Amino acid sequence: MNIVVSIKQIPNLTDELEINAEGTGLDHDALQYVLNEFDEHAIEEAVLAKEATGGTVTVIGVDTTGELDGALHTALAKGADSAVKITGDFPRGTDSHTQAKLIADAIRGMSPDIVLTGVQAADDRDGQIGPMIAAHLGVPYVGVVTGVQVKEGKAVVHKEYAGGVMAEFEVALPMVVGVQAAHQPPRYAPVSKIRQIAKTAKIDEVTGGAGPRAGSTVRRMFKPESAGHAEMWEGSPEEVADKIATLLAEKGLVKRG
Amino acid sequence: MAVGLDKVKPEAITEDKHLVVQGMDISGHWNRMFEQRVSWDYDVDNLDRVTDLPGGESLAWCYGCAKCTAVCPVDIVGDYSPRKIHRKTQMGVDLFNSDDLWLCTTCMNCLRVCPKEVNMIQIMPAVREQAVLEGTTVPPELQKAFEDTAKHGNPLGQPQRKRADWTKKVGVPVSIMKDLGRPVDILWYVGSYPSYHPRGNDAACAAARIFNSLGVDFGILGVEEKDDGDSQRLAGEKGLFEMLAEQNIAAFSKYEFSRMVVTGPHEFNAFKNEYPKLGADFKVLHYTRFLVEHLDKLKPMLKKPINLKVTFHDPCYLGRHNGEYDAPRQLLRAIPGVELVEMGRCRENGYCCGGGGGGMWLDSFTKEHTTMRLSERRVREAAEYGADVLAVCCPFEVSRFEDAAKSTGNDELMVRDILELLDESMRG
């Protein structure tokens, strides 16, 4: 079983997010980057699949931060077998079209049985990397998956619908899965282990070619602007109730008797 | 290796070429009467696995005198002591996968009395580190604290960017080094619990007001400060400790300061004894010692009498680990009205609150293996001595003891950081 996990790093949402001077995106230089949470689940689900059925897990990503090694070392500490990074002139926040193409090109030759990736990432909320990898490779895609079981050339995946409804798909391999959540919480990789691995592990490097242009561009990025204001009324319940009734009448919502 | 061959530290054995004892010449090779009894009864592989680890060697030196059992704070509320650990391991129990591994708080009272220098402060972290690397038996609540520390720089899992938010509550200016842009006399390392825990905030605010009143030229690191990581190290996550130490040392070295003052004894221990091994070079003081230096100036400011019976809990990492017993008591005695009473277990024999060595993040786990929490035993002792106030100077302790006072029905016992008592007396 050849399992491949596609990952990417996104801004740390516990930091204060700054908008760039042009007002078209985040100020990437002011941000710290962490692994996309959904990709953490994809790694966990991949390692669980490997533990259940055997095989190898390869973790791959486009190095948009210059710091992808840390994320790859963490994945190795969690049980991945090899790590690949795609290098080139790919700045932070590189669009999903470009990343999907680069990853599809890099993994085509690996003949993966199953590719797992986070169903989406908080930086662009695009959710397109998984489907686009599947399209480039010409294989099926199922997203919003909360559990994967692999056996005999097929994968049984659980997909989560709205309203608490679940569906079970049986899909012929190879395929791409967009992971919503692993069926166990992502395991903790001790920093001791990550640091050991960082000293010895080899990360394969692939030089990425030119990617396609993004499907869309952000015209303006901004923090929520307050559209109105709230007025706090004080006084006895009777006084406040009277004010509310008067206001509702003024707005024409009720008639005062 | 058989039990016994390694019981004596090799360097402690000397062989004299010529020796006359009580008129009898016993020169020549030592014979069997000088050797340790060799026991072949047990499979000692598990003991060897511990003693083969760097730091684990001294477990083999135990000769079962049980002095440690009498002073072990965990044994007082449960069935656990270094001697018992040695005996169980000798008889084949696998410490790496035993619940016993997580009960030691590294309080060091055993080492204080041990004639053989069996050092649990080295043994436990060494074995725990292997357990953490294997990832099989680490209690989930401890693992969560590791994960939160790795992700957010503090074991409470609070956002790093909010680390200096407490300063908004102080009412006096607290300068952040990055904004200050000049050298300071004192770099105050606030610490995670004073920065984030609501009761820790109270002590931090009190410290800021006291420093301001004394005219101390100080600054804090704000969002550049990370947890010291020492308790995580003792709980087995050495890599996490090293990562935090590197980040903190990098932040410290960005600024010029004459000395560092820390709020907590664990940070004091880290910066005084562990960070220098990683290249740090600065002078650090616990706040109690720093304030004692200013006692002449501080005393006239302590206007409001606090007419209460106060007892003091010695933090393990200030007292036993670093030998500071007097500064906290000098500060308490300086407060008008305070009647200082000592508990039976005080100073060198101070009882552990249960928070050290990772115990801070093992509350539910430890509770399952003990008849009561260590903190509960301690507040009962404070109440037995008739104290109105249990005074502390470690940020782990305020919340631990306040919870314990409630859970043991000693609600009337007030738990206060010495900083809070000083601040109260100063503010009148």
Residue of B nearest to A34 (CA): B151
Selected residue of A32, A191, A199 to mutate for chain B interface (largest B Cβ count, 10 A): A191
Select from A14, A195, A196 the Cβ nearest to the Cβ of B159.
A14
How much is the pLDDT for A206? 95
A160/B224: higher pLDDT: B224
Tell me the pLDDT tens digit for each residue of B408-425.
Answer: 999 999 999 999 999 999
Pairwise CA distance, residues B229 & B245, whole Å: 7
How many beta-carbon pairs under 8 angstroms link A with B? 46
CB-based contact, A14 to chain B, within 8 Å: yes
pLDDT band per the 50, 70, 90 thresholds, residue B272: very high
**Type of residue numbered B171:** G
Which ipTM value was assigned to this complex?
0.80
**Which chain B residues are within 8 Å of A188, Cβ to Cβ?**
135, 143, 146-147, 150
Would you say residue B61 has pLDDT above 70? yes
CB-based contact, A194 to chain B, within 8 Å: yes
How much is the pLDDT for B346? 97
How far is the alpha carbon of A167 from chain B, nearest alpha carbon, in Å?
31
Q: Quick one: which of A48, A88, A65, A4 has its CA closest to A186?
A: A48
Would you say residue A45 has pLDDT above 80? yes
Instruction: Name which of B6-20, B154-168, B219-233 the model is least confident about.
Output: B6-20
CB-based contact, A145 to chain B, within 8 Å: no
Residue of B nearest to A195 (CA): B239
How far is the alpha carbon of B237 from chain A, nearest alpha carbon, in Å?
6
- Residue spans of the domains in chain A: they are 2-207
Task: Tell me what the mean pLDDT of segment B203-213 comes to.
Answer: 98
Q: Do A193 and B147 touch (CB under 8 A)?
A: no
How far is the alpha carbon of A36 from chain B, nearest alpha carbon, in Å?
13
How much is the pLDDT for A152? 86
Tell me the pLDDT tens digit for each residue of A186-237.
Answer: 999 999 999 999 999 999 999 998 877 777 788 999 988 887 778 888 899 9
Q: Do A193 and B152 touch (CB under 8 A)?
A: no
Pairwise CA distance, residues B87 & B85, whole Å: 6
Q: Do A195 and B242 touch (CB under 8 A)?
A: yes
**Type of residue numbered B14:** T
Tell me the pLDDT tens digit for each residue of B375-404.
Answer: 999 999 999 999 999 999 999 999 999 999
Task: Tell me what the mean pLDDT of segment A95-103 comes to.
Answer: 94
> Average pLDDT, whole number, for chain A?
92
Task: Tell me what the mean pLDDT of segment A126-154 comes to.
Answer: 95
The 3-state secondary structure of B76-116 reads HHECCCHHHHHHHHHCCCCHHHCHHHHCCCCCCHHHHHCCC
How much is the pLDDT for B3? 44
How far is the alpha carbon of A50 from chain B, nearest alpha carbon, in Å?
17
pLDDT band per the 50, 70, 90 thresholds, residue A164: confident
Would you say residue B21 has pLDDT above 90? no
How far is the alpha carbon of A206 from chain B, nearest alpha carbon, in Å?
29
Task: Tell me what the mean pLDDT of segment A2-25 comes to.
Answer: 91
Residue of B nearest to A196 (CA): B239
Would you say residue B32 has pLDDT above 70? no
CB-based contact, B132 to chain A, within 8 Å: yes
CB-based contact, B135 to chain A, within 8 Å: yes
Residue of B nearest to A35 (CA): B151
**DSSP letter, residue A66:** S
Q: Do B239 and A15 touch (CB under 8 A)?
A: no
CB-based contact, A190 to chain B, within 8 Å: yes
Q: Do A14 and B161 touch (CB under 8 A)?
A: yes
The 3-state secondary structure of chain B reads CCECCCCCCHHHCCCCCCCEECCEECCCCCCHHHCCCCECCCCCHHHHHHHCCCCCHHHHHCCCCCHHHHHCHHHHHECCCHHHHHHHHHCCCCHHHCHHHHCCCCCCHHHHHCCCCCCHHHHHHHHHHHHHHHCCCCCHHHHHHHHHHHHHCCCCCCCHHHCCHHHHHCCCCCCEHHHHCCCEEEEEECCHHHHHCHHHHHHHHHHHHHHHHCCCCEEECHHHCCCCCHHHHHCCCHHHHHHHHHHHHHHHCCCCEEEEEECCHHHHHHHHHHHHHHCCCCCEEEHHHHHHHCHHHHHHHCCCCCCCEEEECCCCCCCCCCCCCHHHHHHHHHCCCCEEECCCCCHHHCCCCCCHHHHHHCHHHHHHHECCCHHHHHHHHHHHCCCCEEEECCCCHHHHHHHHHHHCCCCCCEEEEHHHHHHHHHHC
CB-based contact, B93 to chain A, within 8 Å: no
How much is the pLDDT for A255? 78
**Which chain A residues are within 8 Å of B135, Cβ to Cβ?**
187-188, 190, 193
Q: Do B152 and A16 touch (CB under 8 A)?
A: no
> Average pLDDT, whole number, for chain B?
93
Task: Tell me what the mean pLDDT of segment B133-138 comes to.
Answer: 84
Q: Do B133 and A34 touch (CB under 8 A)?
A: no
Tell me the pLDDT tens digit for each residue of B280-324.
Answer: 999 999 999 999 999 999 999 999 999 999 999 999 999 999 999
How much is the pLDDT for B6? 58
Tell me the pLDDT tens digit for each residue of B76-121.
Answer: 999 999 999 999 999 889 999 999 999 999 999 999 999 999 999 9
**Which chain A residues are within 8 Å of B147, Cβ to Cβ?**
188
Instruction: Name which of A156-165, B25-34, B142-151 the model is least confident about.
Output: B25-34
Q: Do A191 and B159 touch (CB under 8 A)?
A: no
Residue of B nearest to A37 (CA): B151
**Which chain B residues are within 8 Å of A192, Cβ to Cβ?**
129, 132-133, 237-240
CB-based contact, A187 to chain B, within 8 Å: yes
Task: Tell me what the mean pLDDT of segment A161-176 comes to.
Answer: 94
How much is the pLDDT for B136? 73
Would you say residue B31 has pLDDT above 80? no
**Which chain A residues are within 8 Å of B238, Cβ to Cβ?**
192
How much is the pLDDT for B2? 43
Instruction: Give Dmax over CA atoms of chain A in angstroms.
Output: 82
Q: Please check whether the domain covering A2-207 is classified as CATH 3.30.70.270.
A: no
CB-based contact, B53 to chain A, within 8 Å: no
Domains annotated for chain B, with CATH where assigned, are: 10-134 (1.10.1060), 153-293 (3.40.50), 300-427 (3.40.50)
